[in-house]
Amino acid sequence: MNEILSFLREAADLTRRIQNDFITPATWEKKDKSPVTVGDLAVQTLVAARLEALYPDVPLIAEESADLLLTDEGKRFLEIILEYVAKYIPDVTAEKVVKWISRGKHDDSLRDAPRFWTLDPIDGTKGFLRKEQYATALALIENGQVTLGFLTTPNLTWLPETKEFTTDQAVGSLVCAKRGDGTRVVPLDRGDDALEPIHVSAHADPAEASVLRSVEAGHTNLSQMDVLCQKIGVTRNVGMDSQAKYAMLAAGKSDLLFRLISAKMPDYKEKIWDQAAGSIILEEAGGRVTDLDGKPLNFTQGYTLKQNRGICASNGLLHDRAVQAIEEIGA
């Protein structure tokens, strides 16, 4: 696991460098209207290369495609990616960048693979662009179960002295979980020997609880969110980008997380790279993750959670109440 933590620290350093160097990082719009930046592609290059070296026989399902770099517009950004990745892989070439990005399949071709990685190089790209919250999310799925999960959150820093997260220090955090072995966190400027366990909150009273939700309206149903919170009895509901929300729940700094079905995208199915790492991190911290109907997340259906509808995540104690409220309001 130490090798994985090492290259994820590299990935966090890479995203921070790109974010700091550009007022607006070079950005494209994908077919689904979501943005992708040179940061997404550079991180996918780096992580895919490290995984290939460490686990050559384990395939990868990842969010981004190299197709963008093969267009006339994209070729000029390939040079930017090469410049950044060269700090970590000195012998990188344009051909290797395309190969490593393409190693991350973006379809259902690995649906029956018994073991594979799934990666979101920059989860919360719009948060990254706003210089707010984002994460690099990596998980290992074996026989349909998430067995390892990792999140780096460069703009969300764990303070060991106070056991709190802060956005005021540009240090960042690394959160990891292994099935059956708990969840741990460490600031990115400290060694792996400083990893410490975290656990969800003990809030069973909704009046003491808070909800984390997506910032973007396209990711959830914001109007229904207010109705749902009232139904549950929660008065605090805070927007945050990316799977950094899972880290907050795992450390007991919030209590509920929802991805309701957006009216703009009624048929949307969650991508596995958006939930795999965060789900095991929350579960191993004592929490619970299901879809909006209370069904376990099914990671055997390819790159999407085809058998699930939205996300309901909690500290466990409030979960049944939340699922019941979702049913009652028809969310």
Catalytic residues: 40, 125
Q: Spell out where the chain has E strands.
A: 27-29, 35-37, 60-62, 104-105, 115-123, 135-142, 145-153, 157-159, 164-166, 173-178, 183-187, 196-197, 210-213, 236-239, 256-259, 288-290, 311-314
Q: How many helices (H) and strands (E) does the chain have?
A: 9, 17
Answer whether 50's CB lies under 8 Å from 58's CB: no
* Angle in degrees, 0-180, between the axes of helices 38-54 and 2-21, rounded to the nearest 10: 160
DSSP assignment, residue 304? B
User: Which of 276, 286, 290, 314 has its CA nearest to residue 150?
Assistant: 276
User: Which of 144, 146, 177 has its CA nearest to residue 251?
Assistant: 177
- Count of alpha carbons within 13 Å of 75, Cβ hemisphere only? 3
DSSP secondary structure, 170-187, as one string: TT-EEEEEETTS-EEEEE
The residue behind tokens 């729940």 is 249
- Count of alpha carbons within 13 Å of 256, Cβ hemisphere only? 34
Judged by DSSP in three states, 272 sits in: helix
**Among the residues of 117-203, which ranges form H helices?**
125-129
